[in-house]
Structure 1
Amino acid sequence: MRKIKMLNRVSIDGYFASLNDANFGMDWFLHDTEVDKAVHESGGRMDTLILGGITYRGFEHSWVPFLNDPNAPAQLKAIAEELTQMKKIVFSKHLKEANWANTYILDGDLVNHVRRLKEEAGMDILVMGSGSIVQQLAEAGMIDEYLLIVTPVVAGEGKPLFKQVTQFGLSLIEAKAFQSGNVVLHYELKK
């Protein structure tokens, strides 16, 4: 069975996004190419990406322009191409169409749709951003691994990653600190 892996940046106080939707909630993110490289290497191979509508719009807005930009940095263009090739499953009640290749919009029972995805043949599945999706899948015990990029910021307010989720345990797989102050924590669900 395929694994579901969650990847999110979080502030020290547990927020995964700011309240500023105009910036897709990324006001306080501290980007670091070394962190991006380490996360990419430790995450394993994945061919499916699950997103909510807001996160999808942010990804489409951020990544699609790199595809046709001859001046785009090679690393960012490579990530944009990798994301484009992935099957993107977007759960949204409001989004009706997508302009990014390999994108499928679904509405309805998230947990049952994802349960079927896990049973299909293929590589692992990645969930990024998408707080309400993370919360629902975490509550259902369906996320197998959690990759958290802890950013050295106390946000003070924002969107909490684990709002209204019943307590569950995790086992640490790996922890890495970086010069930027970011820390990558890789956990698996305790069974």
Structure 2
Amino acid sequence: MRTLIVTEFITLDGVIDSPGGGDHPRAGWTFKEVPFVEEAYEIKGREQLEAGAMLMGRVSYDEFAPVWPTMTEEFAEYNAMPKYVVSSSLTDPEWDGTTVLRSLDEVAALKEGEGDPIIVHGSATLAQGLAAAGLVDRYHLLVFPVTLGDGKRLFDGHEQGTLKLVEHEAYSNGVVKNVFDVVR
């Protein structure tokens, strides 16, 4: 069985909306409001090397697909690996190596197979659905010393369960890495 990892840039108040750009009034808060410290992003490089597939929702796909394929050095591993989009409306994905999944049941079947971890970027609605369906095994959270007050949240208040902290580190810019395994 494959491990499903949700990875997020998240604020202290739980918002994951528009960390690098997007529709939120403070879009880009990860780099506009917090100084860049290279070592805080080490986990992002590790994720690319360790993941065997990337899973995203339709909104994240629409944001990533026009940009990431052009970033051949920064996202070489992601561009080469299989990508899956959970969508009821996407019919012809343009990003090479992308397959459309129509339901969380199809995600569960993908997870049942053999292979390296499946990484989920962004995709607040998808991450919430995956958690509710019991499909998330691990969270990689880079917590930024920022509060946004409103926006898409990783946790919508309906989650129940326990997380076990398996890795953490604080950085000079106030970002804190928290890696949690879901306890079952």
Shorter-chain-normalised TM-score: which range?
Answer: 0.7 to 0.9
Q: 1:137 to 1:150 in 2, by over 3 A?
A: same
Deviation at 1:86, TM superposition (A): 1.3
Q: 1:186 to 1:63 in 2, by over 3 A?
A: same
The structure with the greater share of residues assigned to helix is: 1
Deviation at 1:172, TM superposition (A): 0.4
**Of residues 31, 34, 43 in structure 2, which corresponds to 1:38?**
43
Q: Secondary structure at the match of 1:15?
A: coil
Q: Which region of structure 1 is more displaced relative to structure 2, 1-10 or 157-166?
A: 157-166
Aligned residue type for 2:29: W
Deviation at 1:152, TM superposition (A): 1.1
Q: Secondary structure at the match of 1:17?
A: coil
Partner deviation per Cα, 1:103-144 (whole Å, 9 max, x = no partner): 11222x21x111111121211111111111111111122111
Distance in 2 between the 1:159 and 1:3 partners? 24
Aligned residue type for 1:29: T
Q: Secondary structure at the match of 1:184?
A: strand
Q: Percent identity?
A: 30
Aligned residue type for 1:5: I
The answer to whether the 8 Å contact 1:47/1:125 transfers is yes
Matches within 5 A, 1:162-181: 162-181=155-174
Q: Which runs of 5+ in 1 are unaligned?
A: 68-76
Q: Does 1:89 align with 2:84?
A: yes
Q: Does 1:6 align with 2:6?
A: yes
Instruction: Specify the alignment match of 1:188 in structure 2.
Output: 181
Q: TM-score, normalised by structure 2?
A: 0.86
Matches within 5 A, 1:50-89: 50-67=55-72, 77=73, 79-89=74-84
**Of residues 160, 170, 188 in structure 1, which corresponds to 2:153?**
160
Instruction: Specify the alignment match of 1:71 in structure 2.
Output: none
Q: Which runs of 5+ in 2 are unaligned?
A: none
Deviation at 1:44, TM superposition (A): 6.8
Q: Secondary structure at the match of 1:154?
A: coil
Q: Does 1:135 align with 2:136?
A: no
Q: TM-score, normalised by structure 1?
A: 0.83
Moved over 4 A (4+): none
Q: Secondary structure at the match of 2:76?
A: helix
